[in-house]
Amino acid sequence: MSTADVTFAGSIPAIYEQYLVPLLFAPYAQDMAERVRSDAPRRILETAAGTGAVTRALAAALPEAEIVATDLNQAMLDRAASTISGGRVRWQQADAQSLPFDDGTFDALVCQFGAMFFPDKIAAFREALRVLKSGGRLRFSVWNNLAANPMSEVVHDAVGDVFPDDPPRFFERAPFGYFNSERIRDDLRNAGFGTIEIETVEKVSQAPSPREVAIGLCQGTPLRGEIEARGADLLVEVTDRVAAALAEHFGSSAFENRMSAHVVLARA
């Protein structure tokens, strides 16, 4: 995985928050917050917090808990911090593979749709185990494969059609590249976790229009960099092509976005 795959900067955080959080991340954030609330943790660490979809849900579900929200990208944290008022959440730039916290610091570690981006997943899981208290819980989610997420698959295929000789592989490589449950179990076991539960969770959100989906996924993710690397002036054209492909598959107005993800629980 390249550095470009994990870089969310420039205009990406704002586009990500506006277009992708309601479409992809908010439904799973509510689900995750309810799961974490059932554990009643007092100190929570969040990694790969992005623009704060889960952070906001956790703060609402657990008003007495201390939350430390981290991300590799300071620009994403800056955007996230602007969406939560008050001082209930501490924001800190951090690499999940090398966390700047003492052993046994947290009751819970939460990561929504971030583990796919960790170059060394076992190292990140070992760090999670290290900073968790005995009996603490790691909860994280990863996308199922592209075939189980048809809207994203249409976008991936449409972008590939624009560049048939060198199709961008960001979707396959990163967000939808870590879906094999047995591999996830093996990585967690190798990191030292013993009890592991994996549940496949389906969600449906409302996509407001093909155009807005195309903007979000082509311009609000590192896919943007892959497009621009193939032609600095092609971003608008590719976005238009993707919007047309989405309209062909789902219609030209609002449509249902059916999603599938794995939600994982591992106990320290």
pTM for this one? 0.95
Mean pLDDT of 191-218: 98
Range(s) of the domain holding residue 124: 3-267
Number of domains in the chain: 1
DSSP codes of every residue in 13-77: HHHIIIIIIIIIIHHHHHHHHHHHHHH--SEEEESS-TTSHHHHHHHHH-TTSEEEEEES-HHHH
CATH number of the domain enclosing 46 = 3.40.50.150
Q: What is the predicted pLDDT for the residue at 35?
A: 98
Q: What is the predicted pLDDT for the residue at 232?
A: 86
Is the predicted pLDDT of residue 84 greater than 90, yes or no? no
